[in-house]
Amino acid sequence: MIDINFLRNNPDVVKENIRKKFQDHKLPLVDEVIELGSKRREIIMATEELKKLRNQVSKANGKLFGQLKKCVDDIEKAKIQAEIDKNNETVKANADKMAELDGELAQHDARIREIMMTIPNIIDDSVPIGKDDSENVEVQRYGDPVVPDFEIPYHTDIMASFTGIDMEAAARVAGNGFYYLIGDIARLHSSILSYARDFMIGRGFTYCIPPFMIRGNIVDGVMSFAEMDAMMYKIEGEDLYLIGTSEHSMIGRFVDQLIPAEELPYALTSYSPCFRKEKGAHGIEERGVYRIHQFEKQEMIVICEPEDSPKWFDVLWQNTVDFFRTLDIPVRTLECCSGDLADLKVKSVDVEAWSPRQQKYFEVGSCSNLGDAQARRLKIRIKDKDGKKHFAHTLNNTCVAPPRMLIAFLENNLRADGTVAIPEALQPYMGGQKELVPTK
């Protein structure tokens, strides 16, 4: 959510930003906010005039009551009382009018907030302009993508060779989009998360385990309505939602907080299960454990001063690249174009892993700088040494999210004989195992 004063003072800039995001249907909202703001100020002025008049009448009535107490003439008393009654009618009429104006003001405020929650954040100047993810721009590759001289099975078939997955039973228990991981595959899944935890601690991040449910006001604070509708599961009968990523509850931790500047930055890494609706039909390569309703993730979150967020953005995505390279997985970074950015994002880079089977890269993580959008919605402010207050910047990034990441791991470490090599970095978490051997 952008600053409404910025919108009022720079409507053309806001409109141009909307065009860059190919959301021209939102252009009229800018003028509507400005018009509503003008009406709002008129209502406030009218209300102030009514309050002023009410005070004048109350002051006049005070004098009249004093005269009424001293008056002994019945006719004069009746005149004074009539004047008091007339003033009271004026006060009542003014009170009714102020109540009406308060209602109009509340309606305008609600509409302004609704619009401001819809208008996209101002994107960074470096963001490439494009309509959708097909126009994202490759930045750099890390590691040499290899296509082996033997056929690589579909990822669930690789897992099945280790008796490591049961999706049919999961479908009977919970429906499509769920899974059982078993044996060495389950251990590999947990080992990767444990390694990611320690990897991020080694990078100076503080480890956290957050709540896995959040209230509606936190949902509104961390994401757009479109994202919420496509992702979030709501707990029936309660103001609680299952998180789609630990970023949601981690950022929510700081709602309504005034943070001393000397405490920043907060560099945090969090583990959580994640729950997503994943609406829509998907192709064959997005089945199996690629696009699912439940998974686990090691996340990075940073709360910092506005001037420091570009530096932290580069630190975050580089951490993911380095993590995957320690597991012998080639990756590349993609600069997300304007049309692929969610409304709250200023800038985003996707990290994609190489799939030898598909002979292409696929997304395994996303790094985002949200500027002060989340902080403005959740009222996360910083107090500097002079006592001045301003909104923080928030950033997030995926370190690793198995079981999707297992696809890249298994394909890139699979040998011709069906065994899977375990990179040295991961061996301590696998009880010293150097390879996985198929059971069938």
Average pLDDT score over residue span 309-315: 98
Token output for 211: 């709540």
Reference 422, options 413, 92, 133; nearest CA is 413
Report d(CA 154, CA 407) in Å as an integer: 9
Crossing angle of helices 309-325 and 183-202, in 10° steps, is 140
Token output for 228: 């919420």
pLDDT band with cut points at 50, 70 and 90 for residue 70: confident
Report d(CA 245, CA 301) in Å as an integer: 11
Nearby residues of 362 by Cβ (< 8 Å), 6 or more positions away: 285, 290, 352, 353, 355, 407, 408
pLDDT, tens only, 97-153: 888 899 999 999 999 999 999 999 999 999 999 999 999 999 999 999 999 999 999
pLDDT at position 425 is: 96
Collapsing DSSP states into helix, strand and coil, what is residue 360? strand
Record the pTM: 0.88
pLDDT at position 279 is: 65
| CATH class of domain segment(s) 133-436 | alpha beta
Reference 121, options 380, 344, 408, 424; nearest CA is 344
pLDDT over 60 (residue 240): yes
Token output for 203: 């990078």
pLDDT at position 280 is: 57
Report d(CA 144, CA 427) in Å as an integer: 23
Better pLDDT: 158 or 286: 158
Locate the domains of the chain by residue range: 4-116, 133-436
The domain defined by 4-116 carries CATH number 3.90.930:
no
> What value does the mean pLDDT of the chain take?
92
pLDDT band with cut points at 50, 70 and 90 for residue 365: very high
Min mean pLDDT across 288-292, 340-344, 424-428 is at 288-292
DSSP classification of residue 295:
E
Tokens 């630190």, residue located: 315
